[in-house]
Amino acid sequence: MARIHARKKGKSGSVHPHHETTPDWVQMETKEIEKLIVDLYKQGNSTSQIGITLRDQYGIPLVKMFTGMKITKILEKHGIRMKLPEDLTNLMRRALNIHKHLHDNWKDLHNKRQLHLTEAKVRRLVKYYKNKKLLPADWKYTREAAKLLIE
């Protein structure tokens, strides 16, 4: 299968190794891990930053292996719901940064194309999240709305 915006084939992504049991070196209980996740989120970390922190500082390789739930599901269980999914937020932030760059460097044709490709990814992701009912049906991506949501 080829890439979306390139004619190259590419390589498949990495896959976590399948483990039946949890590692012995982690001494934390499920409730402690959940409390730690909520505390890290309240400190201002995103879900991916929480996963990296748990992996690097606490030795927890996969949260789902210990709790049976992903980080976003644990946050929803504790009454914390994000306004927008993290991947959509990151793509919108990237599009805004490219647009800001193009405002100063208006002859940069390579980044002009990259802006079109990034905004196409945003629209495709919005369509996916509307079908999954994670975004309202009338939600639409515009640069002005993205500026208000991101900044």
Of 56, 77, 98, the residue that ends a domain is: 77
CB atoms within 10 A of CB 138: 6
With a pLDDT cut of 70, the percent of the chain lying above it is 99
Residues 145, 91 within the same domain: yes
Residues 119, 139 within the same domain: yes
CA angle 21, 26, 27 (to 5 degrees): 115
pLDDT at 16: 75
Q: Which two tokens stand for residue 40?
A: 């890290």
Q: Residue 34: pLDDT band by 50, 70, 90 thresholds?
A: very high
Residues 99, 137 within the same domain: yes
Range of the domain at 106: 86-150
CA 119, CA 132: separation in Å to the nearest integer?
20
Residue 140 lies in a domain: yes
3-class state of residue 2 by DSSP: coil
**Number of compact structural domains in the chain:** 2
Residues 6+ apart with CB under 8 A from 56: none
Q: 9-18 long-range CB contacts below 8 Å, 24 or more apart?
A: 16/62
Closest CA to 58 of 87, 86, 34: 34
Q: Examine the pLDDT at 30 and tell me if it is beyond 60.
A: yes
Contact 9, 2 (CB under 8 A): yes
Closest CA to 95 of 68, 128, 121, 66: 121
pLDDT at 2: 66
Higher per-residue pLDDT: 97 or 6: 97
pLDDT at 132: 94
Of 47, 77, 107, the residue that ends a domain is: 77
Residue 25 lies in a domain: no
